[in-house]
Amino acid sequence: MSAARLQEQLSFIMEAEGLKQIFRQTVLPADGRAENDAEHSWHLSLMAILLIEHANVDDLDLLRVLKMLLIHDIVEIDAGDTFAYDEAGNRDKEEREQAAAERLFNLLPDKQAVELRALWDEFEARETGEARYAAALDRFQPILLNCHTEGAAWRKHGVKRAQVIARNEHIKEGIPALWDHALEMIDEAVASGYLGK
């Protein structure tokens, strides 16, 4: 192992530290503070391990899924977190995230840069079983947290049921049973006044 390679890896690791400073709109049930991207990525990774039996595809490569989940939001270090229901912010989100991916992954040694960038692209495209499973978890987790915080982020931004459905219905591509459960949670949130009709 060369000293230069190690330094590149450590540089990327320290850059990834920035995920702890990227705060999301979703809040935590325990204290109502904003969740950060590092917490989000950890939570999704735990969910991936626990819920794999419900995946739409047998024999998923769990390590591949975990790698995707750990790096899927790394671009937000440069691009920032764009709230899911922010129409204006979402207009240039892809452009900002592509530029961030180019800079961040290229901090790594060449082979690792190519591998992690390919995993990030795979997650974004949602064309493989692993990517659909990972993306389903990524979409379900904010629903779960909103339902356990009386719709804190939904109420703050005036989000409606139809928006949540449209944004998240591809959960069924990766975990059909989880989508069925999400629909029940969404309807309960509407009935409780935590989510607009």
pLDDT in tens, 144-167: 999 999 999 999 999 999 999 999
Q: Is 1 a residue whose pLDDT tops 80?
A: no
Provide mean pLDDT across the span 45-58. 96
Write out the two tokens for 19. Answer: 């995920």
From CA 109, how far away is CA 151, in angstroms rounded? 42
Q: Please give the pLDDT value at position 13.
A: 97
Q: Please give the pLDDT value at position 45.
A: 98
Q: Please give the pLDDT value at position 183.
A: 98
Would you say the C-alpha torsion 174, 177, 180, 184 has a positive or negative sign?
negative
What is the pTM (predicted TM-score) of this model? 0.96
- Which of 178, 94, 189, 107 is closest to 136 using CA atoms? 178
Q: What band does 89 get if pLDDT is binned at 50, 70 and 90? A: confident
Residues 6 or more apart whose CB falls under 8 angstroms from that of 36 comprise 19, 20, 21, 22, 23, 24
Distances from the Cα of 74 to the Cα of 22, 119, 148, 151, angstroms: 10, 12, 26, 26
- Which domains can be identified in the chain, with CATH numbers? 3-192 (1.10.3210.10)
Q: Please give the pLDDT value at position 42.
A: 98
DSSP track, 44-84: HHHHHHHHGGG-SSSS--HHHHHHHHHHTTTTHHHH-PPPT
